[in-house]
Structure 1
Amino acid sequence: MMATAAVEPGQLRVGFVGAGRMAEAIAQGLVRAGKVKNQHVLASAPSDRNLCRFRTLGCQTTHSNREVLQNCSLVFFATKPHVLPSVLAEVAPVVTAEHILVSVAAGISLSILEELLPSGARVLRVSPNLPCVVQEGAMVMARGRCVGSSEAQLLQTLLEACGQCQEVPEAFLDIHTGLSGSGVAFVCTFSEALAEGAVKMGMPSALALRLTAQTLLGTAKMLLQNDQHPAQLRTDVCTPGGTTIHGLHALERGGLRAATMSAVEAATRRARELNRK
């Protein structure tokens, strides 16, 4: 097997142990962006239930986890967290120094992963979020002790096919769970409330929901493309005595800012508790 860091992304053989929605989203992003050829992707799962979606992408499938390791140099472990230790024990005998192993499972630290795998294994953790499904994910990654800059850069480049990916200290992964993982639900709750406000004032629900989604999309693009602080964009929308400042006053009276900060804090604390179990 060729050392992974020396392989051009287009020639890379990528494996997925676990074939759920997040694994499919990452594979789909890699294939559609031309980062990896579909015939160079191999996914494993106990049953055909999820593997059929990989076959639809033109990827290879198997029921053998070891086969994935034996044929792929970059392998994503996308199983449920409680299943991962037994899966790693199963594949450990075929792990080599040339593998790059990426865990997508929440709650299992790099130190634990390194304990469960052969000495010197190159291990990284990635925390994705659901918008990876539409290639607009917010992802962070952290590297283990044996991972060099070239391997980390390779993984980051590949994952950018699924959205934005930043390398961070491992401690930030739990915060990312509270911010970007759980944040999808927080944004959806705010979106629903925003649309319901329009419905209250007489707008049909379907139209209100569509306009709300487009408003969020456009705002996010402006923040990303212009690298603006949200406060600056908010100020640009606010005119003295206008509609926006009256609406913002109502949000402040309702405690939106404090409630949102508390939501991220609560989700982060829960992620940390799960990591200690």
Structure 2
Amino acid sequence: MSNQALTRKIAFIGGGQMAEALIGGLLAAQLCRPDQLWATDPVPARLEHLKQRYGIQVGGQNREATLWAEVVVLAVKPQTLDSVLKEIGPGLKDRLAVSVIAGAPIARIAAGCGGATRIIRTMPNQPSAVREGMTAVAAGAGVAEDDVACVRRMFESIGKVVPVEERLMDAVTGLSGSGPAYVFLAIEALSDGGVKMGLSRETATLLAAQTVLGAARMVLETGQHPARLKDQVTSPGGTTIAGLHQLEQGGLRAALINAVEAAAKRSQELGR
């Protein structure tokens, strides 16, 4: 990731957790100055928090923030998107709109903007809050390469980024969007196993969480297939193969595949 600062002014329409994650990431990476960022939100306490913590411009004036900015991040709740677009749609003309709204297709946003806006749809996930997020990015028609590069750098400040076709966004939602919940469940279950075998809850949770973190980092940094890394831990007749046998009997592999599929299908339903 280039460490050259971004020059564009960015407005966040909606100042919730994902907007705050991005604001914090952009400032920590020194990609933006506080005076390049403006956040709006209907909750005054939320605006005060963002202003006090990050020193950015805040306010409830969605239209004014949109006209001020060159990049507009749509970070509102899905059920309020249409009313927000009615308010700011005309002001989005010739601007870059970046959506972090789950289940909102580019076509829906374009329709609310009168079709004159460059739109990039993103799907970041919850670990973005600690700058270990995974964001998928899909660009709409008429989006320039420098627009995509700008958005990629924005989201690289809070984790990793992968380009996808928009038709695959529901699959992304089922995997990396919902996936943190599956991993939290696995960490909790591993911790329960440690407690069952006599460890304190605090020690068991630390062992489980750091083990998951370390295993994930090995996959990313070695580039090896997870099955190969698994085999490296699995000695003939040893402890690990005994545990893996139980996981196979319990259907863990199929359960995780089914979870991704179910969440992706639900995302499709919600997007209709």
TM-score (norm. length: structure 1): 0.94
Q: Structure 1: where are the runs of 5+ without partners?
A: 1-7
Q: How does 1:70-149 map to 2 (within 5 A)?
A: 70-97=67-94, 99-149=95-145
Task: Using the TM superposition, give the Cα deviation of residue 180 of structure 1 relative to its aligned residue in structure 2, in angstroms.
Answer: 1.0
The code of the aligned residue for 1:187 comes to: V
Number of the residue aligned with 2:65 = 68
Number of residue pairs matched?
A: 268
Supply the distance in 2 between the matched residues of 1:9 and 1:90 (Cα, whole angstroms).
Answer: 31
Q: In 1, distance between residues paired with 2:102 and 2:54? A: 26
- Relative to the length of structure 2, the TM-score reads 0.96
Q: 2:36 & 2:161 partners in 1: Cα distance?
A: 22
The whole-number CA distance in structure 1 between the counterparts of 2:190 and 2:92 is 50
Structure 1 residue 108: Cα displacement: 1.4
Say whether residues 1:242 and 2:253 are aligned partners: no
Which residue of 8, 13, 16 maps to 1:20? Answer: 16
Secondary structure of 2:160 counterpart: strand
Asked whether the 8 Å contact 1:30–1:161 carries over to 2, the reply is yes
Question: Once superposed, what is the RMSD of the aligned Cα atoms?
Answer: 1.1
Q: Deviations over 1:123-158 (max 9, x none)?
A: 111111000000000110111112122211111122
CA contact (8 A) 2:22 2:154 kept: no
Residue of structure 1 in register with 2:247 after alignment = 251
Give every structure 1 segment of 4 or more consecutive aligned residues whose post-TM-superposition deviation is greater than 6 Å: none
Aligned to 1:41: 37
* CA offsets 1:90-136 (integer angstroms, 9 cap, x no match): 01222231x11011111111111111113331011111100000000
Is 1:196 aligned to 2:192, yes or no?
yes
1:213 aligns to 2:209 (yes or no): yes
Give the deviation of 1:39 after TM superposition. 1.9
The whole-number CA distance in structure 2 between the counterparts of 1:77 and 1:148 is 19
Q: Specify the code of the residue in structure 2 equivalent to 1:169.
A: E
Matched-pair contact (CA < 8 Å) for 2:13–2:74: yes
Matched residues in 2 for 1:137 and 1:182: separation? 12
- The residue type equivalent to 1:96 in the other structure is K
The 2-side partners of 1:251 and 1:259 are apart by 10
1:154 to 150, 153, 157: 150
Conserved 8 A contact 2:9-2:69: yes
